[in-house]
Amino acid sequence: MKKTLLLIAVTFMLGITGQAQNVRINNNLRDIQTTLTDWDPIRGDWLASSFIAMSNNEPALDRTFPEVLTASQLFAFVPEDRRIRVLELLRENDSIERIGTDIVIDLGFDVLRMLAMISSPSTVRTSQTFGEPHIVSFSNEYSQNFKLGEFVLAKSNTSTFEVQARFEAIDRNASFATAVSMNVSGDIVSLYPNEKPDEVGYSALRINGEVITIDKYYYLSKGGVISYSNGKYTINWPSGESAIVEFKKYKNKQYLDIALRVHSLDNNEHTGLVVNQLSDSRINSESSLFSYEKGRDANYYRDIKQINTSRRNMSKKERSKAEVVCMDAGIEGAAMEGYLYDYVHFNITPSPSPLFDQPADYITLPKLYEPIINNNSTNRGVTANGVLLAEETNKKTRKKMNVDTGEIMRVAGRILIGIAVSGSGTPIRR
């Protein structure tokens, strides 16, 4: 009997504790939403909902504003004091010990990483994989990759972020990155500039295995955004990571230069070739993100054609000429050695390293008077002049409001005149 009463008491106390934590979490969520909607009623409400969707691995909501932004990019527009408040609430929410099954909202690590990245730009790290192929790691160290096959370029140990690259020999002297596939918060985005896994040749882009053609941008189901311009794809994760994939050409084949930007909370968060080239980063069919032609798998691309690595030196004259060309192109830092090598041996013209921009640094968000549904169907969002579109929409809204107000005043005026003329309180019809 005593054991039964004790069990009932413990169960009762746990229930009370769980309910208290539920209330606390719900209060935190309401505080987050209030903090963001006080800043911007339309964009802030979408942002708060996006945090919950990201944390629960749910599909992203349609954007209610015209700018082409991820949750991370939009959060950078929020004033610093409000960002700090949201971060405090999320950290408090994440540290609560959860009891029972009623608590389904866990604002997790991806959201915290995204907020921390915006708050601490010094923790942002970039890498490059370019040319035949050269690697500048997250720690800004240069190396060259002569391995053929498919490898992990970068993979997070704490989230779904992962980027894989395929390296093939284009001729007996050169190998390049010829395909890339990445996990963008649950959406698999792949680029195949040459052979296509499904033999559909009109587009290099595959999203979750489906052939997709985009003009300027495309919204991914889990909140990421792909934009395209002049042979360059930019992929932005909702949690703040980015990839820039640029199409280049050597002889009759296209290859890819791949730049990555991540946020590292510590030095051991990521693995892959751009972290440590000596690591075992080769993938197999089970771990591959790629799609394959019939009869092929990850092993098909493993050292199927060796390249000649004997020609690796350059004369002083060749180097001096290449240095002038590279410096004129704006090349500097750890990547210089790779660009020199490619110019001398393969006559590849150097181009500056891609820059990862932050829209909050050069865009001002205009006030919205009503939600503007912006998805892949409405085709209303644009990248370069998104703010102009929002302003134009607001002008139309204000113009409509002014027209309605003017019409009301004119009708009221006619009624008052009629009353005055008739003197009887019955308006004269005109």
DSSP letter string, 183-206? EETTEEEEE-SSS-TT---S-SEE
The mean per-residue pLDDT over the stretch 21-49 comes to: 81
What pLDDT score does 382 carry?
Answer: 45
Q: Answer with the residue of higher pLDDT: 38 or 114.
A: 38
Measured distance CA(231)–CA(344) in Å, rounded: 24
Q: Cα dihedral sign for 359, 360, 361, 362? A: positive
Measured distance CA(192)–CA(203) in Å, rounded: 8
Q: What pTM value is reported for the model?
A: 0.79
Tens digits of residue pLDDT in 327-349 = 998 888 888 888 888 888 888 88
What pLDDT score does 311 carry?
Answer: 56
What pLDDT score does 300 carry?
Answer: 84
What pLDDT score does 122 carry?
Answer: 63
Measured distance CA(261)–CA(369) in Å, rounded: 35
The mean per-residue pLDDT over the stretch 353-369 comes to: 88
- How many CB atoms lie under 10 A from the CB of residue 128? 24
Architecture of domain 124-308: 3-Layer(aba) Sandwich (3.40)
Q: Which region among 219-228, 303-312, 339-348 has the lowest average model confidence (pLDDT)?
A: 303-312
Q: Which residues contact 119 (CB under 8 A, 6 or more apart)?
A: 83, 84, 87
Q: Where are the alpha helices (DSSP H) in 76-120?
A: 80-94, 109-119
What pLDDT score does 119 carry?
Answer: 57
Q: Answer with the residue of higher pLDDT: 250 or 199.
A: 250
What pLDDT score does 174 carry?
Answer: 80
Both structure tokens of 332: 């500097």
Tens digits of residue pLDDT in 167-191 = 988 877 788 999 999 999 999 999 9
What pLDDT score does 310 carry?
Answer: 53
The residue extents of the domains of the chain are: 2-119, 124-308
What pLDDT score does 247 carry?
Answer: 94
Amino acid at 17: T
Both structure tokens of 276: 């440590």
Q: Is the pLDDT of residue 286 over 60?
A: yes
Tens digits of residue pLDDT in 65-111 = 999 999 989 998 999 899 888 878 776 655 433 333 333 334 455 56
Nearest to 71 by CA among 88, 46, 92: 46
Phi and psi for 244 in degrees, rounded to 5?
Answer: -120, 120
The mean per-residue pLDDT over the stretch 264-292 comes to: 83
What pLDDT score does 379 carry?
Answer: 60
- How many CB atoms lie under 10 A from the CB of residue 37? 16
The mean per-residue pLDDT over the stretch 386-401 comes to: 45
Q: Answer with the residue of higher pLDDT: 265 or 390.
A: 265
Tens digits of residue pLDDT in 2-26 = 445 444 443 434 443 344 444 444 6
Task: Identify the band that residue 302 occupies on the pLDDT scale cut at 50, 70 and 90.
Answer: confident
The mean per-residue pLDDT over the stretch 214-231 comes to: 93
Q: Answer with the residue of higher pLDDT: 350 or 26.
A: 350
Measured distance CA(207)–CA(226) in Å, rounded: 10
What pLDDT score does 110 carry?
Answer: 59
What pLDDT score does 120 carry?
Answer: 61
Both structure tokens of 186: 């649950």
DSSP state for residue 108 in the 8-state scheme:
-
The mean per-residue pLDDT over the stretch 259-276 comes to: 82
